[in-house]
Copies of this chain bind each other. A is one copy, B any other.
Amino acid sequence: MDTIGFIGTGVMGRSMAGHLLEGGYKLNVYNRTRSRADSLVEKGAVWLDSPGAVAANSDIIITIVGFPIDVEAVYLGADGILANAKSGSVVVDMTTSSPKLAARIYENAAEKRIGSLDAPVSGGDIGAREARLSIMVGGDEDVFERVRPLFELMGKNIGLLGPAGSGQHTKMSNQIAIANGMMGICEAMAYAEKAGLDPMGVIACIENGAAGSWSLSNLAPRFLKGDFAPGFYVKHFIKDMGIALDSAKKMNLDLPGLTLANKLYQVLAAKGGEDFGTQALYKLYKEEINGAG
């Protein structure tokens, strides 16, 4: 049975790594802030002191860290994964990161006969906890099949979408749909409130029709109650939109809706909203509802 290395034991990673332990795998773990790996160590994971040490002692190395710059450091740095991983091992980056960087890691890995997948997820902390994540994978099919049993311990909708970078591109498609959709439910509910309707009554009336969406049914009720607690942080969403816009620009594709949504989220962040959940976009519209009108 493969020994798994797991780097990045934040809210998401901790749940995901926990499912692998429960699935019977031996686990080596590393995290920048050590204390966040404590609960996994108590359950039998082995703490190692660097990404390089995890890589050297594992067969499949999974990472889920913060930003593309962290991915770059962890994979390509001096004591990083690729400098230390064994030939024949596999690396799997589950961070939402840049498609270009995913392709670069794949190429560097291939030179050392290391398999590489990009496999970002959606579903948030709850999806991670309940092993219901969507996992969007880019890379080679044989490598995907080798890692699939691990993915199946962590998620439900698991797809190989194409070559290296395709997982990240798919996640970008996902975020583009969400960003525009979030603007839509905020505007729909702001209109409803301003018009004096009961917004929850409006949701009940429209959510099963053509206006229906996961966000309308799950996030609109939260922001209407003034609940802006993060399921998914504004600051991370801004990171993702930045990657998508950058990637679209490189492909000469204009995305006016995403550009606008990103601009609105930047305003929200500038007003101190970056640690709220994404549904806090409603705050911008709420100010208007209570404003001059």
List the interface of chain A (C-beta within 8 A of B): 99, 122-124, 127, 134, 136, 156-157, 159, 161-162, 165-166, 169-170, 172-181, 183-185, 187-192, 194-198, 201-202, 204-206, 208-216, 218, 232, 244, 247-248, 251-258, 260-261, 264, 285, 288-289, 291-293
Contacts and interface: CB of A to CB of B under 8 A. Distances in A.
A136 B202 CA distance: 8
Contacts of A175: 211
Given A176-B188, A177-B211, 19 more contacts: A99-B195, A123-B210, A124-B210, A161-B205, A169-B191, A170-B197, A170-B205, A172-B195, A173-B195, A173-B197, A180-B181, A180-B187, A180-B188, A191-B244, A191-B251, A194-B248, A209-B214, A210-B214, A213-B214
Nearest to A206: B174
A176 to B, nearest CB: 4
Contacts of A252: 288, 291-293
A174 B161 contact: no
A161 B293 CA distance: 22
A178 B210 contact: yes
